[in-house]
Amino acid sequence: MIRLLIADDEDLIRGALAALLELEEDLTVAAEAATSIDAVRLAREHQPDIAVLDLEMPPADGLRAAEEIRAESSIKIILVTRHARPGVLRRALSAGVSGFVPKTTPATRLAEIIRDVAAGRRYVDPDIAASALTEDDCPLSDRELEVLRASRTGASIREIAAQVHLAPGTVRNYLSAAMAKLGVSSRHAAAHRAWEEGWI
In DSSP terms, 100 is beta-bridged to 79, 124
Query: Between helices 168-182 and 157-164, what is the axis angle to 10°?
Result: 100
Q: What is the mean pLDDT of the chain?
A: 91
Q: Is the pTM of this model over 0.85?
A: no
Q: What's 102's DSSP letter?
A: E
Q: What's 82's DSSP letter?
A: S
pLDDT tens digits, 147-192? 998 998 888 999 999 999 999 999 999 999 999 999 999 999 999 8
**Burial classification of residue 137, based on how many CB atoms lie within 10 Å of its CB (0-12 exposed, 13-18 middle, 19 or more buried):** exposed
pLDDT tens digits, 50-67? 999 999 888 778 888 999
Domains of the chain: 2-133 (3.40.50.2300), 142-197 (1.10.10.10)
